Chains A and B, each alone.
Chain A
């Protein structure tokens, strides 16, 4: 980067950085967030266009080819994806970013003729390649799990040691290359070891922990982008990558905190293994009878309540029930009944997942209450309507120290006068543990598809 063009490129980068930061700051409020995102997108456009003027850039036909392919694939994917499938889409987009970094590192290694003994370039390049590859394969597995392409959790015996071994193997390849080997095979092996590591690390992790995993991988991709920036001597990659690395780390931390889990225990896949044993022990002792109810009865109970709290979970997302829920809310409000939504920080598959869905259905923003806000309200709530939520209302988290989710903050639904649970069947939640709330005397179960059940409740309310 030299001369006037180089200066102009650098100035354009500075503008882009400012736009990234202003854009992200805009994401702090629901009303400014749309604009914030677009500002960041403009920043990205400026950074990309400026780079095209860099003297080091050539092969415009190939660049156009890559960008066209990416656009043709990316735009329809982003346009068509259902709101419920958002988390896996984010995982996928994160994965290709990681993949891009791994490939760029590989190409740069080939370009340099295999000589990465200049440690200022070599070390960040090896780092970018390993983390990029982990992020690509880990994200793909996260996508496959959330999409239901891979079900259940696969526990590898001695998984931790296998993973440490794989990491050591990848690092050993890296060290050999830094020490002077120019073998491309070693570089490919490095990518392969990291790929297996990414795959095996995510496979055993239970679905409830998936948001934390995606967020971690998001931070990883950011960090590897920053490393690639150091290796390629490009300040835009360093700044943007590091901002994402830092923000992703904070987000991961907050999510893990909301679940009362340490990031370490999530990534070591503790959930999947412990869940079986602890849960069965807890459930057998408390298992009682389950009372089921009808939509008509649920409608009557709510019609005579003064406050109803709706607790949405992933089940609502899967059933696409949010619009029916909004209809039901309107019916209840016609009768002067106070309706609130209790949003657990990790309800659904990602923080904010429920908010997005309910906002899509036009539920007013101020009806959505966060956990700390709503927990004090349950004792004076007449009916809690649980729609496809499970682990986030499991009282075992408070009462049973053996439970794998013990200590996770939950919504204290069991303090309300009565509880109606909409659920497809008696199967356990994503964490794979029984929920004694369903056997509580105050609880009635309304089995069936959430959208259908809520629809029936709406028509019953209308005919009352």
Chain B
């Protein structure tokens, strides 16, 4: 991909983030922060991509730590958010959400 395409994607993703999020009520800000926090765990992918091309013990060590960090970010982030949100479930004002399956990989 050339730089200009990447910058265009960057810009559009920024707008998406802006408009999806500006509608979140105050009360959900903590779970929201926690949920978006889990999403930037996507850096794990960076670790996966670089480890395939890197060689040597030091590089491997750095990247295994990075992959572990990224996994903690993702798994921990989604789980904590789920725990927080479970508490809002089934309260007056709406039905409990349908039993969506567990979504953690690992």
Task: Report yes or no: A69 in contact with B41, Cβ–Cβ below 8 A.
Answer: no
Residues in B neighbouring A31, C-beta threshold 8 A: 88-89, 91, 93-97
Residues in B neighbouring A120, C-beta threshold 8 A: 3
Task: Report yes or no: A101 in contact with B46, Cβ–Cβ below 8 A.
Answer: yes
Residues in B neighbouring A40, C-beta threshold 8 A: 35, 38-39, 78, 103
Q: Tell me the chain B residues, 1-42 only, with Cβ under 8 Å from chain A.
A: 1, 3, 6-7, 9-10, 13-18, 20-42
Interface residue from A71, A90, A230 paired with B71 (Cβ < 8 Å): A71
A408 CB to closest chain B CB (Å) equals 16
Closest B-chain residue to A111, C-beta based?
Answer: B54
B22 CB to closest chain A CB (Å) equals 6
Residues in B neighbouring A268, C-beta threshold 8 A: none
The interface on chain A, measured as residues whose beta carbon lies within 8 A of the other chain's beta carbons, has a size of 116
Closest B-chain residue to A89, C-beta based?
Answer: B80
Task: Report yes or no: A66 in contact with B65, Cβ–Cβ below 8 A.
Answer: yes
Closest A-chain residue to B32, C-beta based?
Answer: A27
Q: How large is the interface on B (under 10, 10 to 19, 20 to 34, 35 or more residues)?
A: 35 or more
Most buried by A among B28, B58, B84, B94: B84
Known: A34-B82, A66-B65, A225-B40. A366 touches B9 (CB 8 A): no
Task: Report yes or no: A87 in contact with B30, Cβ–Cβ below 8 A.
Answer: yes
Measured in the bound complex, the distance between the Cα atoms of B92 and A108 in whole Å is: 51
Known: A34-B85, A41-B104, A248-B33. A51 touches B49 (CB 8 A): yes
Closest A-chain residue to B25, C-beta based?
Answer: A28
Task: Report yes or no: A62 in contact with B1, Cβ–Cβ below 8 A.
Answer: no
Residues in A neighbouring B94, C-beta threshold 8 A: 29-32
Task: Report yes or no: A106 in contact with B62, Cβ–Cβ below 8 A.
Answer: yes
Task: Report yes or no: A69 in contact with B63, Cβ–Cβ below 8 A.
Answer: no
Instruction: Please report the number of residue pairs spanning A and B whose Cβ atoms sit closer than 8 angstroms.
Output: 418
Residues in A neighbouring B56, C-beta threshold 8 A: 110
Known: A38-B103, A218-B33, A356-B87. A100 touches B21 (CB 8 A): no
A275 at the interface (CB under 8 A from B): no
Residues in A neighbouring B37, C-beta threshold 8 A: 90, 93-94, 97, 218, 221, 244
A99 at the interface (CB under 8 A from B): yes
B87 CB to closest chain A CB (Å) equals 4
B58 CB to closest chain A CB (Å) equals 7
A96 at the interface (CB under 8 A from B): yes
Residues in A neighbouring B41, C-beta threshold 8 A: 44, 93, 97, 100
Task: Report yes or no: A70 in contact with B71, Cβ–Cβ below 8 A.
Answer: yes
Residues in A neighbouring B103, C-beta threshold 8 A: 37-42, 44-45
Task: Report yes or no: B40 in contact with A238, Cβ–Cβ below 8 A.
Answer: no
Interface residue from B9, B26, B48 paired with A235 (Cβ < 8 Å): B9
B71 CB to closest chain A CB (Å) equals 2
Task: Report yes or no: A35 in contact with B70, Cβ–Cβ below 8 A.
Answer: no
Residues in B neighbouring A247, C-beta threshold 8 A: 17-18, 20-21, 32, 36
Name 17 extra pairs, CB < 8 A, besides A45-B103, A365-B88. A31-B95, A37-B85, A40-B38, A62-B64, A71-B71, A71-B75, A74-B73, A75-B76, A83-B84, A90-B77, A100-B66, A104-B63, A214-B33, A215-B33, A235-B9, A242-B9, A247-B20
